Amino acid sequence: MTTKQSKQIKPGSTLGILGGGQLGRMIALAGRAMGYRFVTMDPTVDAPCGQTADKQIVASYDDVEAAMQLASVSDVISYEFENVDAQVAEVLESHAYVPQGSRLLRITQNRISEKTAIREIGIPVAPFRVVGSLQDLQAAVAELGLPAVMKTATGGYDGKGQWVLRSEDELAEAYETLAKAGTELIVEQFVPFQMELSVIAARNPDGELAVFPAAENIHRENILHLSIVPARVPAEVKTRAEEIARTIVEKLDVVGLIAVEMFLTADGQLYVNELAPRPHNSGHYTMDACVTSQFEQHVRAVCNLPLGSTELLSPVVMVNILGEHLQPVLDQIDKLPRTAKLHLYGKAESKAKRKMGHINVLAPTVEEALTHIDELKIWTNPSEV
């Protein structure tokens, strides 16, 4: 299916980006190599994307006037993370070329609408219930069983805005805590997964589609720690994960990139956990290990250029650099493997658990790449010592 808006934005044009974080930064770096110019809109002065764009408009994400200013200097507008204001994106649709549109943004900003949309196209998700009171929560837990996961319907990332419910004794405290967010709450049946996988897929307005190899993801404290590619799963699981991503892209009429996060259970079932309609942390491995990076692919997709090859050129492990890792990485920069590629995001302040950069370690096997990472002792888990 071809989207309603379909025109080609050629190199030399200006891309406007809603959001100025590291994803926007890497989109701009990839796009500038292709000859595009960039303007970003973000409330943080000297934001990571602002450092690589031609201009940054310093304004909050819900500032319509600033968004219109962005539109006035852009040939096409994209967004680099899904917490930008969907209302602003909708206003821009009537004044600028926004091929991603606001519909998918609205769907993925709310866990209830997101899971409902996935379920309606026949893709498995964990059974869930919407709760608006402690009584609702108690009824949901009685139906879904424990453990279960309660989440705010909007907001929340890297484990924020959620609570793993393990006993009925904690229901009241959990509900009171998450209800403070002032948003709807959702309770999901806990999926006893063996592994987390993700697949990044791309589609342009003409309907061309491309899928990157599935990544195996390892989290620590709900923050992505490692992405391992090729994922250490049977070929049929990789194929099915990529088919799920392809189906979601086609059924939801995606333009640009979308990341599909999934749980793999012991009996080989895949359940979609979340969607992210943009480049994704688990796709950073593509920057050095694929013919086309996810960031170049995003530019190609929103500009309606032919999509690039997603072929994997080398096994790779991506490891995140959080605030507590940054100085150790800099101190050991001479010890990094010669096949390690360092990417830092230009953030002004280094805080614990804040994503400051990542390293892609290429090697003949993922096991060798993992060994290189372990030998640096930077990411040693205190509980494993």
Q: Give the span between the Cα atoms of 274 and 281, in whole angstroms.
A: 13
φ, ψ (nearest 5 deg) of residue 201:
-125, 155
- In angstroms, what CA-CA distances link 123 with 185, 246, 254, 270, 318? 22, 11, 16, 9, 28
b vs e for 116-146, b when ≥16 Cβ sit within 10 Å of the residue's Cβ?
A: ebbeeeebebbbbbebeeeeebeebbeebee
Where is the binding site, in residues?
A: 111, 151, 156-162, 188-191, 196, 219, 273-274
Is residue 157 packed enough to be buried (19+ CB in 10 Å), middle (13-18) or exposed (0-12)?
Answer: middle
Cα separations in angstroms, 314 against 115, 196, 229, 339: 34, 21, 9, 11
Is the CB of residue 266 less than 8 Å from the CB of residue 191?
no
- CA–CA separation, 301 and 308 (whole Å): 9
Instruction: Please tell me the distance from the alpha carbon of residue 183 to that of residue 163, in angstroms, as a whole number.
Output: 15
Q: 303-306, long-range: CB within 8 Å, 24+ apart, which pairs?
A: 303/8, 303/9, 303/10, 303/13, 303/15, 303/36, 303/76, 303/204, 304/6, 304/7, 304/8, 304/9, 304/99, 304/204, 304/205, 304/206, 305/8, 305/10, 305/204, 306/204, 306/208
DSSP 147-172: SEEEEESS---TTTTEEEE-SGGGHH
- Which residues, including other chains, have CB under 8 Å from residue 234's CB and lie 6 or more apart? none
- Round to whole Å and give the CA distance between 210 and 310: 7
Q: What are the binding residues for ATP?
A: 111, 151, 156-162, 188-191, 196, 219, 273-274
The C-alpha angle 169, 171, 176, rounded to 5 degrees, equals 130
